Amino acid sequence: MIITQKKPIDELMAMLGDAQKIAILGCGSCATACATGGEKEVAELKAYLESKGKTVVATNMADYCCMNMGVKTAMKKLNAAGPDAVVCMSCGDGVQVAAAHSPSAPVYPSNNTMFLGEAVRFGLFEEACHLCGDCVLGTTGGICPISRCAKSLVNGPCGGQKNGKCDSSLCGGRKNREQFRKISPRKKSIGRDNVRRRRHRSSRRPYYSISCSNSVNRFDAKNS
């Protein structure tokens, strides 16, 4: 799922500026799971905005804010209320879909979109996919070296590893055990140890490397 993090409330209020009549759109999928855009969060934001003198003229939930037809239907209620601005509590994709169906009011995001990941436990999420357009999971035992290595290497480990762990200075201080040490045992356990990893140029998007500074591996909602 798409992992999102709430923006600082001051940032959202700055975007709203002088807008007085506000509509709020929540997402019943990923943002609900991340506790950044479900019914509870919509109600909390409504109460906060009203405490600051704003008038929340309408709220609604879309099952998936990334689904065009569902958002089109959900936005009809909001548009009918004549808001000065709409707050979309979803990922960046959902904000863009909502904006496409808001003919007269700007749509502002309440969240930052972090990565495509999985829930380790409630409130703790890990990156699982870099959306590279050239999936190698079939040759790595279902363990992604691109998203789980801080340098997005495919044929690692790199020269910076020490005792099977990432180099702290180059990999943002991460001490995770090299994913490449996990791939080989996994492949042996499923009888695929003779399969070699090969990286092909993707036809869907340009081939590029992702630097360490852009690699986001883990997000703890409770400590953000």
HEC string of 152-181 equals CCCCCCCCCCECCECCCCCCCCCCCECCHH
Q: Is 223 helix (H, G, I), strand (E, B) or coil?
A: helix
Looking at the predicted structure, is the pLDDT value of residue 175 above 50? no
Band (pLDDT 50/70/90 cuts) for residue 188 is: confident
**Rounded to an integer, what distance in angstroms lies between the CA atom of residue 46 and that of residue 54?**
9
Only one residue has tokens 């609604």, namely 60
Average pLDDT, the chain: 81
> What does the chain come to in residues?
224
Residue 134 near residue 199 (C-beta atoms within 8 A): yes
The mean pLDDT value for 23-27 works out to 98
The mean pLDDT value for 103-124 works out to 89
pLDDT of residue 155: 66
The mean pLDDT value for 123-135 works out to 81
Question: What's the N-to-C CA distance of the chain in angstroms?
Answer: 19
pLDDT of residue 44: 98
- Name the region of 75 (left: φ>0; alpha: ψ -120 to 50; beta: rest): alpha
pLDDT of residue 58: 98
Looking at the predicted structure, is the pLDDT value of residue 213 above 80? no
